[in-house]
Amino acid sequence: MAILLTRQHKVLVQGITGNQGRFHTKQMLEYGTPLVAGVSPGRGGTTVEGVPVFETVKEAVAATGADASIVFVPAPYARDAAFEALENGIRLLVLIPEHIPVLDTIDIVTRARELGVVVIGPNTFGLISPGEGTKMGIMPNHIYRPGPVGVVARSGTLSYEIAFQLTQAGLGQTTVVGMGGDPVVGQNFVSILEAFHRDPETRAVVLVGEIGGNAEEEAARYLAEFGKPVVAYLAGRAAPPGKRMGHAGAIIERGQGTLESKERALTAAGARVVTMPWQVAEAVREVLRG
């Protein structure tokens, strides 16, 4: 099984005629994603990789029944694209762009919660469900295999490395979720862990965190009721306080969000914390053995 994204979804791509939209549409189709429509104002009536393009989300939803959207539009237009999706029947929204203004993201997330829409991102690699053979994101197709391990990550590239090592070790994945690297995102570790908790085929979870913010400490407080083994790797061991590392969410301020505080909280909650990414697969194998 999988969380959040299944083959029952009908996916559309907002910004499908741009370079990134075209490229990743092809990749998603090759992976098996049920991609039914694209949206690009001024390009309605054309196709991309055989996918029909519509002028608006409203038209696309009416014609195809799409209920999930992945957004590939420039950051200044992402709020408008997101609200167009939210107000026209989309119930799973993946926001790929980085540099979306924080106030825009707050507006998007607030409206999504009012409507009961799941938002992944922004500044995310998306999500992929190998067990379902479907993805909404920019991750490389070949590194994932179906299996019993859920993965939730703040870091994109690091999650690719860890997923590939899991696959090489014969440990496939149910779903891999990129929360997003911005200070405000649609999902947090707890909401994703709750979804993995409900999935009977997810037997263990890898949590890929990093310095900055308090998302990992919040996850640690939830682990007491999670009931499944968790392996955690946290990036940023060598980062100096006050220095932004990689993206807006990874910054230590006034002693908050340090690697030490996160590792301490997760370890106390029963997670298996490793110090190097290549240690994750063996740790997962061990916790699955019990």
Among 3, 207, 229, smallest CA distance to 120 is for: 3
Compute the distance between CA of residue 167 and CA of residue 163 in angstroms, rounded to an integer: 6
Are 104 and 80 in contact by the 8 Å Cβ rule? The answer is: no
| Tens digits of residue pLDDT in 218-232 | 999 999 899 999 999
User: Running DSSP on this structure, what letter comes out for residue 17?
Assistant: T
**Mean pLDDT across the stretch 18-32?**
98
pLDDT at residue 259 greater than cutoff 90: no
**Mean pLDDT across the stretch 88-100?**
97
247 is catalytic: yes
pLDDT at residue 1 greater than cutoff 80: no
> DSSP string of 242-265?
T---SSTT---BTTBS-HHHHHHH
pLDDT at residue 75 greater than cutoff 80: yes
Q: Work out the pLDDT band at 65, boundaries 50, 70, 90.
A: very high
Q: Which of 9, 99, 142, 247 is catalytic?
A: 247
Partnered with residue 273 across adjacent β-strands are 232
What's the confidence (pLDDT) of residue 211? 82
CATH number for the 139-289 domain, one of 3.90.550.10, 3.40.50.261, 1.20.120.1200, 3.20.20.70? 3.40.50.261
What's the confidence (pLDDT) of residue 241? 59
CB atoms within 10 A of CB 169: 15
Q: Work out the pLDDT band at 242, boundaries 50, 70, 90.
A: low
Identical topology for domains 11-120 and 139-289: yes
| Tens digits of residue pLDDT in 125-172 | 999 999 899 999 999 999 999 999 999 998 788 999 999 999 999 999
Report how far apart, in Å, the C-alpha atoms of 250 and of each of 106, 134, 143, 237, 267 are: 18, 29, 26, 12, 21
* Domain ranges, ordered by start, for the chain: 11-120, 139-289
**Model-level pTM?**
0.93
In the CATH scheme, what architecture does the domain 11-120 have?
3-Layer(aba) Sandwich (3.40)
> What contacts 188, CB < 8 A, 6 or more positions away?
179, 215, 218, 219
- 45-54 contacts at long range (C-beta below 8 A, 24 or more positions apart): 46/17, 48/13, 48/16, 48/17, 48/21, 48/22, 49/22, 49/25, 51/13, 51/16, 51/25, 53/16, 53/17
Q: Is 144 helix (H, G, I), strand (E, B) or coil?
A: coil
Query: Using omega within 30 degrees of 0 as the cis cutoff, is the peptide bond preceding 122 cis?
Result: yes
